[in-house]
Amino acid sequence: MKATTLYISIPIVAWSIWILLCGKCLDNALQQLLVAASGSSTLQLKQAKALQETGWWPSSTTTQARSNYSSACHWDGITCNAGGSVITIDRSYRSLGGQLNLNFSFFPNLVRLNLSLNNLDGRIPLDIGMLQKLVCLKLYSNMFVGPIPSTLGYLTNLEFLDLRENKIYGSIPSEIGMLKNLTFLYLSSNMLVGPIPSTLGHLTNLEYLLLGQNKINGSIPSEIGLLKNLTNLYLSSNILAGPIPSTLGYLTNLEYLDLSENKINGSIPSEIGMLKDLSYLNLSHNFISGEIPSALGMIAPLLTMDLSYNNLTSNIPSSLTDIYRLDLSHNSLEGQIPNGYALNHNSNTLNGNKDLCGQFKIFPLCRKGKKSIITEIKTFVPISIFLGFLVIGGGGILFSRCVFKKNQIESRGLKNGNIFSIWNYDGHIAYEDIIEATEDFDIRYCIGTGGYGSVYRAELPSGNVVALKKLHQKEAENPVFYKSFINEVGVLTEIRHRNIMKLHGFCVHKGCRFLIYEYMERGSLFCVLRNVDEAMKLDWSKRVNIIKGIAHALSYMHHECIPAIVHRDISSNNILLNSKFQGFISDFGTAKLLDLDPSNQTLVAGTYGYIAPEFAYTMTITEKCDVYSFGVVALEILMGRHPGELLSSLSSSSSSQNMMLNEILDQHLSPPNRLIGQEILLVATIAFACMNTQPKSRPTMKCVSQEFISRRKANLIPLTAVSLLQLRKQAAYVDGSGFAYC
């Protein structure tokens, strides 16, 4: 009996012990899960607090974060992963100021950080190297100073690094060579010094290398030839010396090569002829000597080659005749000009069909003689008259004194009368008045700085206020910028539209070059949208009217001007607002007359974020490029910010497709009433149609303009009931005749 009892008791005791031990295991596992969950919650709280302390979000948003630790995931510009950890921070175009004081240690999963186009200053923190998972870092167009932190070398997952347009100084750290996944490296327009580190040769995935407009010295390292995937190499406007390395010939994917405005010497290596995809080559303003390799003419895609302002000698190879834009001026070339050339070759010793185009190369005016050139220029600016004389020679064609519109000059009145009569007598009087009004362009009158000049406000003796766009001295001497200056004059004297900014005149006088426009009190649309007080004054009705005005102006340019005019740089920066918040298209320096250029191929022009996607690979300009840019601007006006992040999420995330239209509208304004809401629905539908990735599927601006004018009967659909997915379906373009609406 005792044995039986013992036999039965052993399994019971064992079972009891197993339950006890496993129960403890289960308890430990549960505790670990709770600790993990608690840790996740703690991280989210720390992230929300760190974001709150930057001051980059409204106080109302961060107050909500204190009551709900996960609310940071719903903030504007923040994206989180499934576990609630922040993976994207995008506060671009926000007019943010101060230093970058984000605690990076709380963001171990951050993949994208975009703080571009703000006013952030101070140094880029060293602890940015803690963001081990970072793939994209964009800090361009701020006021960062100090050196590039060497700790960036720890970001080995980085694919996109953009530090352009800051005040960063010091040398490029060799540690950047550790970023083996990097495909885009943009460091241009800073104050960098020292040599290009040879370690950049380790970046074999690199496609874009932009180091231009710095003070980088030394020679171009031969290791740059290891970057077999490179398509764009931009080293212009530095202090680089020594020869061009022959290893550049190994960059067989290169499409764009700009080494201009340096101190490069030696000869042009014939190996450049191996770059069979090259479409743009600029070696101008250097000390390059020797002959022009005939192999350059064997590069079939080469459209533009500028070798001006060097010490090139000998004859011009006959193989270069197929290059569309060819500038060989200001060298020591000699001999006969081969037949079939239309080129720019002043200050050379050449015989045969001499070109009188000079640096003033508006169109190909070669082999026409002085009289023909003057006729061409008057055709280019048909309603202008020229005061002074033309000088044709090594310096190109120069205009002395000032040029103003004929109707202004022919008007009569007192010097202190209205703005037109100021220019009654001659350009000199207007010039003196402008110099006096701006105290010789004193910085106190400067109201903005653009790509190639500064803008000044001038109150003339008559009491009229004008805006003056003046070329900087360096840009005034640069033929590229001067061409842009003259191009703007030529286009704006041709066109008249209520939504295109008026040009009153221009002046080339005593080395001072400026354009005179009507004054726009509110400044650029870009700045107004990013200033909370100004944005709130820009109510829904005003915003819709601005969009309509831009559409009508572009329709006029594309369909009523002969030849058609394509702006090429429609962006919120180039839409100016007057005191009544009416919109005007400005900045025609890159505009293109389509019929005068059969190829319509050109260099990249425009503003990042507004350029049509097909232009990147076709380099071909059509009206549909402006249509795409218009769509981006229209959506930006509705959202109050650039729609780039939204467009990216729509193309990659199904969750964004389910967002409602009212959710993406500018939250600074009260929700629109139902009537204006239908106008917004129309604008949004048109905007998405204009941004179609296929150019042929985009509407024409004439069609867009007519849609706004037709005032079709509104279906009062609440914006809360329209998803972005529905909106994109509604944006289908039908047979070139209209839009399909639900």
* Residue whose tokens read 């601007």: 633
- At 307 the pLDDT is 93
The stretches in the chain having pLDDT less than 70 are 1-40, 60-71, 324, 336-431, 450-452, 472-487, 490, 493-494, 508-511, 589-606, 616-619, 651-657, 711-716, 730-742
What is the model's pLDDT at position 318? 84
Is 469 labelled as part of a ligand binding site? yes
Round to whole Å and give the CA distance between 11 and 6: 9
Residues across the chain? 742
C-beta separation of 78 from 72 below 8 A: yes
Distance (Å, whole) CA 537 – CA 577: 12
**In the prediction, which pLDDT does 714 show?**
53
* C-alpha–C-alpha distance, residues 138 and 124, integer Å: 12
Active site residue 569: yes
**Segment holding 64, helix H or strand E:** helix 59-67
Return the pLDDT at 304: 81
CA geometry: angle 239, 240, 245, nearest 5 deg: 170
> What confidence score (pLDDT) does residue 450 get?
62
pLDDT score, position 434: 82
Gap between the Cα atoms of 193 and 188, Å rounded = 12
Q: Which two tokens stand for residue 405?
A: 């519109």
7, with CB counted inside 10 A (0-12, 13-18, 19+), is: exposed
3-class secondary structure for 3-38? HHHHHHHHHHHHHHHHHHHHHHHHHHHHHHHHHHHH
Question: What is residue 341's predicted lDDT score, i.e. its pLDDT?
Answer: 54
Measured between alpha carbons, how far is 61 from 50 in angstroms, rounded to an integer?
A: 13
Q: What pLDDT was estimated at residue 28?
A: 44
Q: What is the largest CA-CA distance in the chain?
A: 136
Catalytic member of 162, 306, 355, 569: 569
So what's the pLDDT on residue 473? 60
CB 296 within 8 A of CB 319: yes
Residue 484 phi/psi, 5° resolution?
-60, -40
Residue 413 CA neighbour count, 13 Å, CB half: 15
User: How many angstroms separate the CA atoms of 68 and 391, rounded?
Assistant: 73
Contact 503, 516 (CB under 8 A): yes
Within 55-96, strands assigned E span 78-80, 86-90
Identify which of 147, 74, 72 has the alpha carbon closest to the alpha carbon of residue 102: 72
CA dihedral 165, 168, 172, 175 (to 10 degrees): -100
CA separation for the pair 85, 87 (Å, rounded): 6
pLDDT for position 397: 27
Q: What is the dihedral of CA 639, 644, 646, 648, to 10 degrees?
A: 170
pLDDT the model gives residue 603:
45
The answer to whether residues 471 and 513 touch, using CB atoms and an 8 Å cutoff, is yes
Find residue 723's DSSP bridge partners.
Answer: 660
Q: What does pTM read for this prediction? A: 0.51
